[in-house]
A and B are shown apart, each in its own frame.
Chain A
Amino acid sequence: MSILVFVEHHGSELQKGSLGVLTKAASLGDPDVAAVLVGGGVKALAPEAAKYGASKVFVVEDDALEPPLPQPRVDALAKVIEDNGYETVLIANSVLAADVAAGLAARIDAGLNWDLVDITSDLVGKRPALQDSVFLEVGWKSTPRIALFRAGSFDASTHDTGQAQIVDVTVDYAEHSQRATVVGQELEESSGPSIEDADIIVAGGRGLGAPESFSLAEELARTLGGAVGATRAVVDAGWYPYSAQIGQTGKVVSPKLYVALGISGAIQHKVGMQTSNVIVSINKDANAPIFEFSDLGVVGDVHEIVPKLTELIKQRKS
């Protein structure tokens, strides 16, 4: 077998979720693990990708590819797979990557298992289903196989062989892949890691009481080096941007620590975060469902507890 990992980038940064998947791929016991980078300026990022265990990095360098559109990336991945015979393709989920994975599955007639949280060395995937109440073990009946992993499934850690080969690839794009064009972008200001990349997420819900109280979540997240998440209710109410929404209609995350502030833990939110390693929740309502799946539940007022907690963490860090 041989494994190819699609490594996504945003600007000049490789996405940590992709590097986590690459780290996992390198641990599966296969000597032939390659990364593929697609876009403008990605050649400069290739040595960085190589540090996470790739023996080869394929580079599809093309400024026309920098806009985040899935279909030209399907062309690029299909070309690398067909020329080199990769049997397994592993991809970290994102808005862009999900469309790349599904388009690629149709293009090369490959089975796609999605929303996986783990994979074994004999290539059995684990997928939580039915609001994560059941874990399915899933497989592939043929090659190539494609696996799409939930955000935060694996830690990225360097494993530099120092010998990675960097291979330039030229792609002929399908006519239909070039029809969509990005004509504008509105990027939201963000400081710190994105929700997909964060090891720590501090999320706020209705229990914060008012939009201004999101500063409590922001301050705690900044102190912990994490990102801020939000429930659908507060996003719908306009308290926080959609890009921070966690849950069934937002992002599904799996960080090392999830701090839930004033979140009741409705099923729609639970499915977005319950595979987090450690969940700490603070809520005034002792009967809130969130306490049923928290490692540490605190019945109390976020406005009283969070400023003190943030201060204590700051003191400890200094």
Chain B
Amino acid sequence: MKIAVCVKHVPEGSSRIDPSSKRLDRSGEGALNHFDANAVEEALRVKGDSDAEVVVLSLGPAKAADSLRKALAMGADRAVLISDDAAAGSDLVATSRLLSAALANESPDLVLFGQQASDADGAVLWAAVAERLQRPVVSQAAELSVAAGTLRVKRQTEFGYDVIEAPLPAVVAVSDAINEPRYPSLKGIMGAKKKPFDTLSLADVGVDAGEAGEAGSKTEVLALADPPARGDARKLEDSGGDSAQAILDFLVEKRLV
């Protein structure tokens, strides 16, 4: 069995949007998106002692290699980085096109994603990738098991849980409630340096430059604005519950009661 995990290298610390490009500034330090660490962990758990292969895959700048190395140090077997200047600024349509092209070449039985990217708060990519690959998709997976070529997932929803089954090959986005990611051991970190690592261009994955980056995107950021300011904030010191009336008066004034 082959398991592919799609991971993202995200900026660390306080991030900013470059006012000229209107893109997230990715020039500073970065790290493996922590939701994706859950997906890597889950792939390693599904693999267990079997001879399954875990491939980690990322789309990003050259520095994204750091995040892939971390996944290798955790125990993944091989890494693929799609890195090309022409891919910068890809939106959902373009990103899903690039990732699914690379995934189609890998032809994994199971594709895993983390449930969101901590930088863009995006939580939609897997469904677009699954559609392009024409595979079943299940998101918000709180539990996952694979037996006899069938996937069983417990999905968290607004109303409780759904238990969903799908035959492999399939795409799953895991919730961060699914496991506790391991820390790479020193041995793992040293071993990661010797593991296979491929860097691919757009041409390597078979996508034209016009289909990637801003050229291949269908959405655009038009302007940046400040968030709307809150009105006059009030603060009270309570003593023995005496503020209850003031809270009620406030709610009445705001027509909320």
Contact = CB atoms under 8 A, between A and B. Distances in A.
12 contacts: A95-B155, A99-B137, A99-B139, A137-B221, A138-B219, A141-B219, A185-B161, A190-B159, A295-B231, A300-B243, A312-B245, A316-B252
Nearest to A110: B218
B120 interface: yes
Interface in A70-115: 70-71, 74, 94-96, 98-107, 109-115
B236 A187 contact: no
B247 interface: yes
Contact of A294 (B91, B136, B233): B233
A103 B159 contact: no
Interface string A113-124: 111000000001
A257 B220 CA distance: 32
Contacts of B165: 180-181, 183
Contacts of B227: 128, 132-135
A180 B218 contact: no
Interface stretch (B53-61, B122-130, B188-196): B122-130
Interface in B233-249: 233-241, 243-248
Given A134-B224, A136-B221, A299-B236, A70 B162 contact: no
B248 A180 contact: no
A105 B157 contact: no
Q: Which of the four size classes fits the interface of chain B? A: 35 or more
A293 B233 CA distance: 8
A303 B2 CA distance: 54
A195 B96 CA distance: 30
Contacts of B217: 111, 141
Contacts of B120: 129
A148 interface: yes
B131 interface: yes
B162 A185 contact: yes
A110 B91 CA distance: 11
A113 B219 contact: yes
A249 B224 contact: no
A271 interface: yes
B39 to A, nearest CB: 14
B243 A298 contact: yes
B33 interface: no
Contacts of B170: 179-180
Contact of B158 (A67, A177, A195, A301): A195
Contact of A299 (B159, B233, B235): B235
Contacts, number: 277
B177 interface: yes
A159 interface: no
A124 B132 CA distance: 27
A312 B248 contact: yes
Interface of A: 10, 67-71, 74, 94-96, 98-107, 109-115, 124, 126, 128-130, 132-142, 145, 148, 174-177, 179-188, 190, 194-196, 200, 224, 242-243, 248-249, 251, 256-257, 271, 278, 280, 282, 286, 291, 293-301, 304-305, 307-309, 311-313, 316-317
Nearest to A151: B158
A305 B225 contact: no
Contacts of A242: 142, 156, 177
Contacts of A96: 157
B140 interface: yes
Nearest to A69: B164
A281 B53 CA distance: 50
B184 interface: no
Interface string B182-226: 000000000000000000000000000000000001111111111
Contacts of A305: 238, 241, 243-244, 247
A200 B255 CA distance: 12
A140 B244 CA distance: 48
Contact of B17 (A95, A102, A103, A130): A130
A300 B93 contact: no
B159 A194 contact: yes
A294 B232 CA distance: 10
Contact of B160 (A104, A130, A140, A243): A243
A251 B160 CA distance: 14
Nearest to A112: B92
Nearest to A140: B219
Given A134-B227, A138-B222, A249-B176, A296 B159 contact: no
A68 B162 contact: yes
Contacts of B121: 115, 129, 248, 271
Given A103-B128, A134-B227, A280-B250, A184 B162 contact: yes
A182 B164 contact: yes
B194 to A, nearest CB: 35
A280 B136 contact: no
B131 A74 contact: yes
